[in-house]
Structure 1
Amino acid sequence: MTALLVPALAGVLTGVSLGVYGELHKPTGYAVSVAGFSGPLAMKAWLTTGVFVLALAQVFSALVMWGRITLDLPWIGAVHRWSGRLAFLLSLPVAFHCLYALGAAYDSPRVMIHSVLGCFFYGLFVTKMLALPRKGLPGWALPVAGGLAFTALAGLWLTSSVWFFTTIGVTF
């Protein structure tokens, strides 16, 4: 358990720091945009959907790597690493826009849950990345961290992309 202490503390500090920054930072209102999208909300909805699809690949590849799904796929470790890297990169413009342009918000249940889940996800991400190279971790540590990260991403996707697509419509 001591091998997990430093990564967990770093993750908690990351999540809390993001939440405090989101609360104290005066939102700029300036939208971050990525070419090809009609606006920042569409960009966030589609990039978050991409992150969620890559997170599904993470879950599948982890199940194969941990022997829960029996398949002979010698390249599955590379799929797991690269889908995680791509998911993280796709999440950065979304997180930047949320924190910098909008800040944390607690005025509606959906937005509050979304804000808390975003901070929780990045805290888990830091915990998992710092725990990966450590020796002596309990066998349950990485699967639990990965499962919680996926759960947080599913919640983020439901409170952002699914909300956007069902409220505003499927637009690019």
Structure 2
Amino acid sequence: MTTTQMERPRQNLAPLLVPLLAGGLVALALGVYGKIHTPTGYAVGVAGFSAALPMKAWLTTGAFALAFVQVGSALVMYGRLPVTAPPWIGTLHRWSGRLAFVLTIPVAFHCLYALGLQYDVPRVLIHSVVGCFFYGVFTAKMLALPKRGLPGWTLPVLGGLAFTALVVLWLTSSLWFFTTIGVRF
């Protein structure tokens, strides 16, 4: 072993076990529910939108935009951008994340309740699986936040996975809707 390897402290991954297990269970439960639940085929509460698909497209677009706020504010908070972090950056990060999550709830509810897990079209299969993964990784991140002693890469990796999942969800739903159906409200 080199001196550098001997000096590096061993990372304790045990505190990460519960958040990752809970996140995996959330993703699995959503997938199982989506598969065994008989889809209703109709939307519930599209409040202000002409139909469910425009509602889903626009709410997902809002969450997608806020995901970029999340990444930017995280980069500023962790000193990865050459700017001084303003005192409100943590508040911006927390509230943009909360709002992004809230925007996804009616979308996920409609997807699971009205449509269920679908696997006959590749785009829809990817969307369904990544949607379950998003809520699983989000759960893991939220449960990991208050834990002390986690490796420094934990939150950036979980946040990056949540961001990536949200981008894939937007690409397989909202972008598809806007380019196939058109821009509607």
Q: Normalization by structure 2: what TM-score?
A: 0.92
Is 1:143 aligned to residue 163 of structure 2? no
CA distance in 1, matches of 2:119, 2:46: 26
Partner of 1:132: 145
CA distance in 2, matches of 1:88, 1:10: 18
Q: Deviations over 1:76-100 (max 9, x none)?
A: 0000000000011111000000000
Q: CA deviation at 1:34?
A: 2.7
Q: Which is greater in Rg?
A: 2
Partner of 1:33: 45
CA distance in 2, matches of 1:36, 1:27: 23
Matches within 5 A, 1:82-161: 82-161=95-174
Q: CA deviation at 1:35?
A: 2.0
Uncovered stretches (5+) of structure 2, i.e. residues with no partner? 1-12
Q: CA deviation at 1:64?
A: 0.5
**2:22 counterpart letter in structure 1:** A
Partner of 2:3: none
8 Å contact from structure 1 (residues 33, 43) kept in 2: no
Find the partner of 1:19 among 22, 25, 31: 31
CA distance in 2, matches of 1:167, 1:33: 24
Partner of 1:49: 61
Uncovered stretches (5+) of structure 1, i.e. residues with no partner? none
Identity in percent: 72
8 Å contact from structure 1 (residues 11, 124) kept in 2: yes
Q: Normalization by structure 1: what TM-score?
A: 0.98
